[in-house]
Amino acid sequence: MTVSVARKIAFEILRRVEAEGAYASDLLHAELSAEVRAEDAGLATELVLGVLRWRRLLDFLLEHALKKPVARLDLPVALALRMGLYQLRFLERVPARAAVNESVELVKRARKTSAATLVNAVLRRAAGEAAASAEEFLPADIAGAERLGIVHSHPTWMVERWLERFGEERTIGLLEADNRAPRLSCALRDLARRDEIFESLRGAGLRIEAGQILQAAFAVSGRSLTRTAAFREGAISIQDEASQVVPLLLGVRAGDRVLDMCAAPGGKTPALVRAAGAGGMVVAADRHAHRLVAMREQLKRLRLLSVRLVELDAAGRLPFGVFFDRILVDAPCSGTGTVGRHPEIRWRLRPQQLAEFHSLQSALLKSALERLAPGGRLVYSTCSLEAEENERVVEDALGDVRGVRRVDVGEITEALKGKLVAGMDACGLFDSSGYFRTLPGLQDADGFFAAILEMEPKN
């Protein structure tokens, strides 16, 4: 029996995610070229992201049959079992026979023929139990966070943190959102061309949904966006809607000197360049040269060639002889606000890493504040939900750097006037402490945090 193209691609991507620490989204983008049929690309994507999202639940159910940890299996065997069980439990359109037989063939292709009988037996038993709720297999005395962690397939330590921070209702909403395929959100370069661009995208077979926060945002589904003329010509970009809000919080004015300090991959830079205009100056910095190379290609597609790209480690003293009117510090972070988009994060992140991120983020923010002009504004942002990476970083900086204040929400919302969808209350995007926040489950967007700071003007 042969193995379908989609399952071959999915199996190899999952192997590389586990064995090499690669990111599934990058590998899917690289593997699903124009030569791969749309049906195969769709199934491969579903298998990769589905198996990664539901890995803990899949392993729990497999161990019920195996009577030993999945971690003790050879990786190809574990992957074949996870893929097979995912299809049996979550993909009604896939016949059980195909899910079982092709999983057995994947093991054989990986030269683990001795495990073929095991895979066949476990998955055939699982096929008979596929209609049973996972709750039926849980011990009666299991702790609440552990139960939620298994049923919703998240690490228990992460669930415990979120229960303490958000409460049970919001945490369950967040867990459920993490396990849904996120919207493919996009940004319009020119709002005046919206009708024209939407018409061309519909003509290319895409379905369009309006943005939920910004007028210039929209979501697409149905076909590959990157193969459209609008994308190739730079009229649109792929960017989460909450991410699109962050650069707007800076309130960049025409002629401003702007520093995008952790710029790559460059999603937020275009909004800064357009706001600063021909008379402004935008410096985009990143510590990784290869990411700046990729960023330059994106800026070329968008026809934004005036950006000055600089390779530097921004955690130390910045090598600039000028002060900047506006600075964006979109700091490297744990990414817990993007677990729905990058499901492997939940299995790689360890609690102790949050302290390491905090140290780096604090250094970045303090370094940036040293180059902020009097009266200038700085936005510190992350795609993390964790306090160590967000408000505690800001609190540390405010305690160590003199002359810096938090900007009031009323001042910030001025920068958003005319940009939000009708009926959207800008104040609803900020919490009671005045921080910008989005949360999967509450908004159909990634989880973002931002603090807006201002340097006192000279007397």
Angle separating helix axes 38-53 and 75-90, nearest 10 degrees: 100
User: Does residue 383 have an active-site annotation?
Assistant: yes
Tell the residue number behind the tokens 């994947």, with chain if given.
Answer: 106
The closest alpha carbon to 190, from 257, 253, 270, belongs to 270
Alpha-carbon distance 6 to 94, whole Å?
A: 12
C-alpha span between 127 and 100 (Å, rounded)? 8
CA dist 101 → 42, 69, 113, 121 (Å): 20, 23, 13, 11
Residue 210 backbone zone (phi > 0: left; psi -120 to 50: alpha; other: beta): beta
CA distance linking residue 59 with residue 78, whole number of Å: 9
Active-site hit among 186, 262, 333, 383: 383
Question: Length of the chain in residues, anyone?
Answer: 459
For 172, the token pair is: 């369950």
Q: What is the 3-state secondary structure (H, E, C) of the chain?
A: CCCCHHHHHHHHHHHHHHHHCCCHHHHHHHHCCCCCCHHHHHHHHHHHHHHHHCHHHHHHHHHHHHCCCHHHCCHHHHHHHHHHHHHHHHCCCCCHHHHHHHHHHHHHHCCCHHHHHHHHHHHHHHHHHCCCCHHHHCCCCCCHHHHHHHHCCCCHHHHHHHHHHHHHHHHHHHHHHHCCCCCEEEEECCHHHHHHHHHHHHHCCCEEEECCCECCEEEEECCCHHHCHHHHCCCEEECCHHHHHHHHCCCCCCCCEEEECCCCCCCCHHHHHHHHCCCCEEEEEECCHHHHHHHHHHHHHCCCCCCEEEECCCCCCCCCCCCEEEEEEECCCCCHHHCCCCCCHHHHCCCCHHHHHHHHHHHHHHHHHCCEEEEEEEEEEECCCCHHHCHHHHHHHHHHCCCEEECCHHHHHHHHCCCECCCCCHHHHECCCCCEECCECCECCCCCEEEEEEECCCC
d(Cα 56, Cα 34) in Å, to the nearest integer? 33
Report, as residue numbers or ranges, the catalytic residues: 383
